[in-house]
Structure 1
Amino acid sequence: MLAEIVKAFSDEYKKTPVRVKVLDAFLVYALATAAVQFAYMLLVGTFPFNAFLAGFLSCVGFFALTVCLRMQVDPANKEFSGISPERAFADYCLANLVLHLVVWNYMG
């Protein structure tokens, strides 16, 4: 049963455009980075807590913004058909700039 679900998912995912697959790779990267930071915090401790919190929230914010970009760029999603991919990417870059300026300021 599980093998059938995985096979159906992989068959459908092969139809996904390359642009969306690249965004999926960024999403996996953001989650992996957050997981490594969290594991490091559990093993070593939280001495510079602001630094840990800034790095972890940076990964989570990057993940959320990339999910929004993926939703806007995916041609299968008809809700965002009025937004061009270039406009979505420009909004994504501006939001990431604001996010990372806040994170940088928070680190102190």
Structure 2
Amino acid sequence: MAKKPVSSSAAAKTSTPVAASKPPPASRTASGSVSTPSTTAARPTPQSSLSPRSSPQEIIVHVWNRYLQDTPSRTMLLDVFMAWLVVVGGIQFVYCVVAGNYPFNAFLSGFSAAVGQFVLTASLRMQTSERPPPGASSAARKTTSKTVDAVSGEMVESGKVSTERAFADYVFGSLILHGFCVNFIN
């Protein structure tokens, strides 16, 4: 029985080890001790900071994890509703392009209802956000005072609207928007 000659590329493939990996280099911590990173933690944790050379996928995962960790459930509910309004508006627009726009008033009414409700929901989200604006300093946050509004009798924080008032404005604006849309259909 004669053996076939083995090509050099096939021999090279069989002679190299399958998993030849070097351990990660050791680094010095602030206290001067040497620490070696573990090889099992390949993914960044949500608490880790991003480096300037992070890949787009790492950035997206980091932002998503921070969003899930830091955002209250009420705000997430508003975000889901806003995403749903984008989907509804997109479906209406695609339908108008594909199937035609014969009852054009109906398309305009439905599309403007989706866009208007998105804007009202974004406004509600901004007013009920529990985080201070990014430019506000910690000293400015501590000096805010609560006063009683003379007209409505509500507690108001130096120009900030209460959550109940913001929701009432949202409902009132939604009723006006949808009344306009129903009237516009004809």
- Per the alignment, residue 56 of structure 2 pairs with 2
Bigger strand fraction: 2
Contact 1:71/1:77 (8 A) holds in 2: no
How far has the Cα of 1:97 moved from its partner? 0.3
The two structures have a TM-score, normalised by structure 2, of 0.55
Read off the aligned partner of 1:100 and give its amino acid letter: H
Distance 1:97 1:89 in 2: 12
Match 1:45 to one of 100, 115, 136: 100
Bigger helix fraction: 1
- Per the alignment, residue 92 of structure 1 pairs with 170
Count of residues in correspondence between the two structures: 108
Distance 1:84 1:12 in 2: 26
| Structure 1 gap ranges (5+) | none
CA RMSD of aligned residues (A): 1.6
Match 1:101 to one of 170, 175, 179: 179
- Per the alignment, residue 20 of structure 1 pairs with 75
Read off the aligned partner of 1:88 and give its amino acid letter: A
Larger radius of gyration: 2
How far has the Cα of 1:22 moved from its partner? 0.1
Look up the SS of the partner of 1:83 in the other structure.
Answer: coil
Runs of 4+ in 1 over 4 A off after TM superposition: none
| Structure 2 gap ranges (5+) | 1-54, 137-156
Distance 2:76 2:93 in 1: 26
How far has the Cα of 1:10 moved from its partner? 1.2
How far has the Cα of 1:5 moved from its partner? 1.3
Read off the aligned partner of 2:180 and give its amino acid letter: V
Look up the SS of the partner of 2:106 in the other structure.
Answer: helix
